Amino acid sequence: MTSQTDSLLKVRNLKTTFHSKGRTLRAVDGISFDVRAGEVLGLVGESGSGKSITLRSIIGLTRDYGSVEGNVYWKGEDLLARTDKQLQSVRGSQISMIFQEPMTSLNPLLSIGLQIEENLKAHTELDKRARKARAIELLDMVGIPSASSRLSDFPHQFSGGMRQRVMIAISLASNPEMLLADEPTTALDVTIQDQILQLLLSLAKNLNMAIVLVTHDLGVVAQTCDRVAVMYAGRLVETGSVRDVLKRPQHPYTLGLLKSVPENIPPAHHSFRFPARHQHWTHCRRAALSLPAASGRKMCVLVPNPR
């Protein structure tokens, strides 16, 4: 058990309930966990287990359409007791959030420079010139090339991965102490996923920022998180360090989740890239064409049928 004195965020018995046409649905059912400064906590579970709702409840986004009970202590202060207006000083400046869908989480009508500066305007005392300089610095930091010339570009001029970087830049603008990341890589392809995760990790380390990373990808958790909390049906079934949970899962659901990840499948003796087409291509010979011999892998060279 972690000592509770140095916890940045303490969630105690959080319950989020939605009411619809006389029926009630408890999406989050009494969750408690801690996040320490600079720690990366993974929140995993299947779709509909309440991961995203937990995250949104912490920052007060679900209270519009559901009822939230319990306590969320941010540095000892209960966030749930605050009004929306009182939350404004915490949101964006101390706790930030990035979303799953980078294509829609930026305003399509404002240039990204304006959108970054907007955060600075809301939470810092910087003047116009300083805001611009900081915006360039932030874009540089998240790895957008020729940042200063891209400030006036609009979101549609960026790819998905780039937009997620911009989104990260915006959320980091006023040096938050905690970042809530709601499946930040789900909408991106695998190579970009890796880049974004590495970026988040290095930022967390450099800025001593805590991250709550919601994901359903155990590979991502294994790669990035310090601790992991497994959610199922609105409850936490298991919490612990990544190593413990992944190596020695205690709860049968965690075990099931781990078993659902394809691994230890023996690779074929050599892999065909287009197995369906293979019948039309006869001459197949093994050759170590471009792969270095040391990798021990073979490459298949296909030649079309002679007519």
Partner 1 sequence: MTQFETLQTTQPKRKLPPRVKALLRPGFLLGFFILSGSIILAVFPAAFAPYDPNAFDFMAIQQAPSWVHPFGTDNLGRDTLSRVIWAYSVDMQIAFFATFFAMVIGIIVGSLVAYHGGFADVIFGRIVDVTITFPFLVLVIAVVAVLGPGLTNMYVAVTLVQWVYYARLTRAEIMTQMTSDYASAGRVMGYSSGRIIFRHLLPNAMTPLITFWMTDMALAILLGSSLGYLGLGAQPPQAEWGVLIAEGRNFITTAWWMSLMPGIAIVVTRLGFSLVGDSLADVLRPRGAS
The residue ranges that bind partner 1 (CB under 8 A) are 56, 59, 61, 64, 84, 87-93, 96-97, 99-101, 104-110, 118-119, 122-123, 167, 170-171, 180
C-alpha 203/C-alpha 199 separation (Å) is: 6
Question: Are 196 and 164 spatial neighbours (Cβ–Cβ below 8 Å)?
Answer: yes
Radius of gyration, alpha carbons of the chain: 23
In terms of CB distance, is 96 or 224 closer to partner 1?
96
C-alpha 90/C-alpha 9 separation (Å) is: 12
C-alpha 88/C-alpha 85 separation (Å) is: 5
Among residues 76, 40, 50, the alpha carbon closest in space to that of 225 is found at: 40
Query: Which DSSP state fits 265?
Result: P
Residue 86: CB minimum distance to partner 1, A: 11
In terms of CB distance, is 92 or 249 closer to partner 1?
92
Residue 14: CB minimum distance to partner 1, A: 17
Residue 106: CB minimum distance to partner 1, A: 6
Question: Are 209 and 179 spatial neighbours (Cβ–Cβ below 8 Å)?
Answer: yes
In terms of CB distance, is 101 or 244 closer to partner 1?
101
Amino acid at 177: E
In terms of CB distance, is 51 or 227 closer to partner 1?
51
Residue 139: CB minimum distance to partner 1, A: 17
In terms of CB distance, is 33 or 99 closer to partner 1?
99
Among residues 33, 6, 14, the alpha carbon closest in space to that of 71 is found at: 14
Residue 111: CB minimum distance to partner 1, A: 13
